[in-house]
Structure 1
Amino acid sequence: MNLKKLFAFFPLLIPIWEKVPFDSVNTAVPDAPYYADNASIKMQSDYLMKTQDSRLRSKIAVSLAYSDNQAAIDALEACLQDEKNDYVQADLLNALYNLRAQGSCRKVTLLKSLLKSQNKSVRAMAAALDLRATNDLSSVYALLASESNEYVINFLWSEIASGKDLAKHSRDSEIDGFLSSENPYQRAGAIRVAAMKSGEPDKDAKIAKFLSDKNTMVKAALAQALALRDKGGAGLLEKLSDDRDVTIRAFVASSAPAPDRLQIFMKLSNDPDDEVRRLSCVSLGGYKDADAINSLIARIGDKMLQVRDAAEASLIRIAPGQDVLKRIGDELLETKESRASAVTILGALKDKRYSEPIMKLLVSLDEAEYDLIRRCITALGELDFKESWKPVSERAGHKEAVVREAVASTLGKLRIKESYDTIIKLSDDKSVNVSTQAFESMGWIADTYFSATLLAAIRKTVAEYPADNRSYACWSIARINVASQDILNQLDALCMKMVLKIPMSPNTYDVDSVRISALFALIDLGKKDPVAKEKAENVLKAFLAPPRNDDAFSSMVGDGLKDFARQAKAYVNNEKPGQVAIKTRTPLFIIEETRERNAPPPAQK
């Protein structure tokens, strides 16, 4: 088995555990990376050069693209040397292009000879690979000069524009001919590169004339290139911001924030198109100016939710001063169109002057206004307004899960004893988002009042009960840091025994996120409890032991759980987990598939 070292392949658990519980998402292990050794690559390429079936040759070429080994580049180039079928050539070149991170092609002369192919994919890929191998733009520009296929034109101009150095080193004499081309795809590509390489686009007459180009795609390419620049081109962007085409205005609105572009974003924040206004609000979040703040305040009353949300997020990002927050609280909290965003902003920026008005607003709301109810409840938790615990608790039976989730979260932040039973009730909610939030809130509060509920949750080892509930309960048990013998025994069972009941099937081990949550809980409890410490040590020893063929337990400790245990050991020792070699997987090679399919059946015993 070949091994390849990666820096961070498995999720890094310790930073997660220190902040939030484990779940099925944050402990998900990605598929192992592909890798083929030199011998496997040689076997594939040898067969590719021998077989007369062009379909097989193409499939082998595609599979070699996943080899993640520079040896495949040499093998594919050798195959390309003798290949006459242009469809197979295209697949070979595509494979080489996909392997470009492993190295460049060496047979540049071969690539140049393919620039005259009748196959558009062959021409495009050969030119791109030649460019990456030589950094010589002359061949690409020569091909473009005679090219009429839209795909090839767009692909090659994108290749040039994708590298700032390539665009920068393009000579004006090479680009000028394309700027005056009758083909709009050529003009679009050329103006994109010209705008990228220009020192001062606003003073470049060749670029300015494209403001009046009759083709929208060309002007959009100019707007896109200027928008990507960190600075320069504000004059051109200002003129493009008045264009009738919404796509062009959207590119302008998404420009990188720069001091001389502020007025453009302010103007476009009033654009008739919803998406242009939204993008402008996002861009305005990069400024601290009063004018930017005023423009954003105007948009939190926008008719479109997406625009209001963008303005709201930008104001939170800017974090304006107390005078601005007072204006938001005094003027907008009472305005129906703006109050939802005002509540969220005041809560996120923790302006406690408006805690009581937000609570009063919550009390006055009808059940149908669930989004505003959710925002009010969330804000009251962020403001730590303990007097609000009762009206917040009264919303625990709301029909919308997002409201109940907000209730569970806010009650966890307020830590009011009288609300504990409401949290317990929400931990049995049919919505997993609500129940897991309730269990997490128990950990925030860290009161032994919840211990019996948490024990009951980790004992519910049935397939119908959400596994994340057990994971979150383990985290909260660790935060309370007081455990009975029953809790310790159940945590140990989650790690070591087949406790999960599945209908019409034998019991099996719980999911990895639960098992590793139980182990981390035992480790935390073991810092004070010698029994928990001994159990944690025994689990670690079992998880890290070499697998045995006759051991059913070893078969249920996969690579992911084994690495989690390695990290848990580092957590015990107060260390950072070091690097580890990752097992790779071999690409699905067609030759091996054929061999297995044609193999004789095993002899009967």
Structure 2
Amino acid sequence: MKQISTILFSTVFFPLLQPVWDKEPFNISNISKPDAPFFLEDAGIKEQGAYFRQLPDPRIKSRIALSLLKTNNEKAVEILENMLRDEKNDNVISDLFICMYRLRDKAKITYSERIKKYMEHQDQLIRGYAAALYFIKTSDAATILTMLEKENSLFVQELLWNELASKPKSCNQEDLKKFLQSKDSIRRAGAVRVLALASKEPDSVPKLKKAAEDELPVRIALAKALKEMPDAGNELIAKLAEDKSSIVRALVASCAVSDKRLKTLVKLSGDKDWEVRRAACETLGGSKSPEAISALLARMNDNYEPVRTAAEDALVKINPGEDTIKKLTEFVKSDAHRDAAIRVLGMLGAKNSALDILNVLNGKAEDETVRRAVEALGRLECKSAADAIASKSSSKNPAVRKAVAFTIGRLGVASTFKTLELLTKDKDASVVLEAINAMGLIADKSFNKRLNEIVKDVKPSTSSDMRAYACWAVSRINAPTDGMMEEMKKLFLKKIIPMEGEKTYDADYARAAAIMALVEMGGKKNEPSMKAAKSAISFFHENPFKTKDEDSITLKEYMRQIQAVMNGTEIKPELVPTVKPELVTGKVQ
């Protein structure tokens, strides 16, 4: 990649293959190349600026300004500022300010006084963004507050109050309190939020106590501020927890948990509004207190699934002691609590609950209960349940069949291997992939025949994912026949996928999986596999029939890393090369 001296706003790296391979098979998601970032060098940005100044058409000028958003270069902000000079068209000026504001986190403006003159512009977008950029550069809160005293645009007010909230200490508290006398609830709301954030202890500010009884926008603003303050405002939080608006209560329920807030959050976990309950359960996951655990247990039979899920996740996060495990095990016998309890017990690894969960599986149960029971028994390593679990592979629900494959892979009981092979032929793709993955986890030689069939199969009913997963499973087993190694070489090197009367290569990640499998097995003292890998890689580079651009940049990067694995050398992350953004060009008439 060409060296770039300019500091980019953002850089992107190719994913590292080895850490992924150590945990799971390659697929289209876990090793796909991120989108290449745009980049335009300083000279190109300057050319756009010069072209801008020659143009009479405001529409093209706006297009040039917007194109600079994709340059990924701090020089763009400087040029956007320069474009403002002598520009008369309000639409163009507005677009210039929009672009500079969108780049505010990347580079600050240089000429604050030049920007300041636009703060009185009649266009709300221009004066709003100008004021925001001016404040970001100078932290001159007094000037912004003076402007807000007369500002009537809701857009400008909300924009500037948000900016002030990002630097609350820059504001004079007495100046903020003046806004609390305003008849406009938006002004009061903005001031309340900034005042609260600027206070060490909001509970000690009388004006904020009054704000807790103000109109809804003000109460929402106060709740938002308190949400950002984990160790303060506990009295105000308790008061807002009684608010008649569920929006306010939900914000309070999302405030970080502490000993002083615990009682409030426990109460909110039983709120009449399900979103408030969900938020409170999620927050209570940060406390290991008996009160929090009791509140979460009480929500495991909630009428709304998002609340139950939040309670389950929170309990797993807390990882409670044996007393709670016993209660959860008792819940397995309760129709109302059963599903939630089974999932939590499985996630917690509560092996003493396995028999109770197995009893549920052997009884009459809904598909969701069966799915949860099957997965839990796998996590609990309950090998005695293997045959009962395998019997559920006949379920009409693919989620259940997928769970069966998942659990067979974790139990590794030989009597279930035939079931696993059948699941690799399932009509549901997710079930098939889970079954192939399970074969890799078990790593039994008896799976080789079926895995070889999958690697060879290129019918439309199959997928690149299946072949990539199969290669990973073969490498885990590490006992390939000569025929299997030849099939993986073929998958890596040849055009084997039928497409519109011709043949094409398999997906890059599937090809990478094939050669990675050979290299990995070779690294485990499998000499025939290493020999096959070396000959395949040699032919890959020397293939006389391959065109210059036949290999994608992604595959070339995969090969760089795989060869490093083969040679035992360090693999350093590689930047994804940048691409030049589409620019506005032409001749000025």
Q: TM bucket by the smaller chain? A: over 0.9
**CA drift at 1:87:** 1.2
Residue matched to 2:510? 514
Report if aligned partners of 1:346, 1:379 keep a CA contact under 8 Å in 2: yes
Aligned counterparts of 1:576 and 1:89: Cα–Cα separation in 2? 51
Report if aligned partners of 1:278, 1:310 keep a CA contact under 8 Å in 2: yes
Amino acid at match of 1:87: N
Aligned counterparts of 1:427 and 1:390: Cα–Cα separation in 2? 18
| 2:552 counterpart (555, 558, 566) | 558
Amino acid at match of 1:363: N
Report if aligned partners of 1:3, 1:581 keep a CA contact under 8 Å in 2: no
Larger mean CA deviation between 136-145 and 416-425 belongs to 136-145
Could you say what secondary structure the match of 1:582 adopts?
coil
Report if aligned partners of 2:11, 2:37 keep a CA contact under 8 Å in 1: no
Alignment of 1:303-314 (within 5 A): 303-314=303-314
Change (3 A) 1:9 1:137: same
**CA drift at 1:139:** 2.7
Aligned counterparts of 1:374 and 1:217: Cα–Cα separation in 2? 45
**CA drift at 1:449:** 0.4
1:426-458 CA distance string (max 9 Å, x none)? 111122211011001001110110001000001
Larger mean CA deviation between 580-589 and 515-524 belongs to 580-589
Report if aligned partners of 2:33, 2:554 keep a CA contact under 8 Å in 1: yes
Report if aligned partners of 2:240, 2:248 keep a CA contact under 8 Å in 1: yes
Residue matched to 1:338? 337
Residue matched to 2:196? 195
Aligned counterparts of 1:383 and 1:516: Cα–Cα separation in 2? 34
Q: TM-score, normalised by structure 1?
A: 0.93
Within the alignment, does 1:358 sit opposite 2:357 as a pair? yes
Q: Structure 1 vs Structure 2: percent identity of aligned residues?
A: 34
Within the alignment, does 1:86 sit opposite 2:70 as a pair? no
Could you say what secondary structure the match of 1:286 adopts?
coil
Aligned counterparts of 1:7 and 1:47: Cα–Cα separation in 2? 28
1:165-193 CA distance string (max 9 Å, x none)? x1122111231222222221111111111
Alignment of 1:61-100 (within 5 A): 61-100=65-104
Residue matched to 1:417? 414
Within the alignment, does 1:391 sit opposite 2:388 as a pair? yes
Report if aligned partners of 2:14, 2:573 keep a CA contact under 8 Å in 1: no
**CA drift at 1:318:** 0.7
Residue matched to 2:397? 400
**CA drift at 1:19:** 0.7
Aligned counterparts of 2:448 and 2:36: Cα–Cα separation in 1? 39
Within the alignment, does 1:211 sit opposite 2:202 as a pair? no
Alignment of 1:107-122 (within 5 A): 107-122=111-126
Structure 2: segments with no counterpart, 5+ residues? none
Amino acid at match of 1:49: R
1:286-340 CA distance string (max 9 Å, x none)? 011111111111110111111111111111111111121012212x111111011
Within the alignment, does 1:569 sit opposite 2:568 as a pair? no
**CA drift at 1:565:** 1.8
**CA drift at 1:478:** 0.5
Residue matched to 2:273? 273
Alignment of 1:162-173 (within 5 A): 163=166, 166-173=167-174
Residue matched to 1:602? none
Aligned counterparts of 2:183 and 2:485: Cα–Cα separation in 1? 77
1:578-605 CA distance string (max 9 Å, x none)? 143432111111226x99xx9xxxxxxx
Report if aligned partners of 2:14, 2:576 keep a CA contact under 8 Å in 1: no
Aligned counterparts of 1:251 and 1:339: Cα–Cα separation in 2? 30
Report if aligned partners of 1:3, 1:583 keep a CA contact under 8 Å in 2: no
Within the alignment, does 1:476 sit opposite 2:506 as a pair? no
1:73-112 CA distance string (max 9 Å, x none)? 2221111111111111111112222233442111212100
Equivalences, count: 584
Residue matched to 2:227? 227
Aligned counterparts of 1:571 and 1:58: Cα–Cα separation in 2? 50
Aligned counterparts of 1:554 and 1:429: Cα–Cα separation in 2? 40
Residue matched to 2:250? 250
**CA drift at 1:542:** 5.8
Change (3 A) 1:581 1:283: closer
Aligned counterparts of 2:245 and 2:373: Cα–Cα separation in 1? 39
**CA drift at 1:135:** 2.3
Report if aligned partners of 2:228, 2:255 keep a CA contact under 8 Å in 1: yes
**CA drift at 1:2:** 5.6
**CA drift at 1:544:** 6.8
Change (3 A) 1:468 1:179: same
**CA drift at 1:197:** 1.1
Could you say what secondary structure the match of 1:590 adopts?
coil
**CA drift at 1:136:** 2.0
Aligned counterparts of 1:8 and 1:71: Cα–Cα separation in 2? 20
Amino acid at match of 2:259: P
Aligned counterparts of 1:541 and 1:150: Cα–Cα separation in 2? 66
Report if aligned partners of 1:393, 1:407 keep a CA contact under 8 Å in 2: yes
Aligned counterparts of 2:25 and 2:80: Cα–Cα separation in 1? 47
> How big is the alpha-carbon RMSD for the aligned residues of Structure 1 and Structure 2?
2.0
Amino acid at match of 2:183: E
Change (3 A) 1:177 1:25: same
Change (3 A) 1:553 1:22: farther
Amino acid at match of 2:407: T
Aligned counterparts of 2:337 and 2:31: Cα–Cα separation in 1? 39
Within the alignment, does 1:500 sit opposite 2:504 as a pair? no
Larger mean CA deviation between 354-363 and 274-283 belongs to 354-363
1:244-294 CA distance string (max 9 Å, x none)? 100000000000122211111100011000010111111111011111111
Residue matched to 1:525? 521
Change (3 A) 1:79 1:322: same
Within the alignment, does 1:490 sit opposite 2:458 as a pair? no
Change (3 A) 1:540 1:7: farther
Aligned counterparts of 2:535 and 2:157: Cα–Cα separation in 1? 64
Could you say what secondary structure the match of 2:85 adopts?
helix
Amino acid at match of 1:90: S
Aligned counterparts of 2:546 and 2:129: Cα–Cα separation in 1? 51
**CA drift at 1:217:** 1.4
Aligned counterparts of 1:97 and 1:7: Cα–Cα separation in 2? 21
1:486-518 CA distance string (max 9 Å, x none)? 11111111111111112x241111101101111
**CA drift at 1:534:** 2.7
Change (3 A) 1:334 1:444: same
Report if aligned partners of 2:13, 2:574 keep a CA contact under 8 Å in 1: no
Q: TM-score, normalised by structure 2?
A: 0.95
Could you say what secondary structure the match of 2:393 adopts?
coil
Report if aligned partners of 2:14, 2:575 keep a CA contact under 8 Å in 1: no
Change (3 A) 1:319 1:102: closer
Aligned counterparts of 2:270 and 2:354: Cα–Cα separation in 1? 32
1:7-49 CA distance string (max 9 Å, x none)? 7521222111101111111122121001111222122212211
Could you say what secondary structure the match of 1:41 adopts?
helix
**CA drift at 1:520:** 1.1
Aligned counterparts of 2:570 and 2:298: Cα–Cα separation in 1? 48
Residue matched to 1:603? none
Report if aligned partners of 1:544, 1:562 keep a CA contact under 8 Å in 2: no
**CA drift at 1:570:** 3.0
1:366-389 CA distance string (max 9 Å, x none)? 4xx111110000011011111111
Larger mean CA deviation between 263-272 and 319-328 belongs to 319-328
Change (3 A) 1:311 1:97: same
Structure 1: segments with no counterpart, 5+ residues? 599-605
Amino acid at match of 2:188: R
Change (3 A) 1:77 1:387: same
Report if aligned partners of 1:3, 1:584 keep a CA contact under 8 Å in 2: no
Amino acid at match of 2:471: C
Aligned counterparts of 2:389 and 2:125: Cα–Cα separation in 1? 62
Residue matched to 2:110? 106
Report if aligned partners of 1:381, 1:410 keep a CA contact under 8 Å in 2: yes
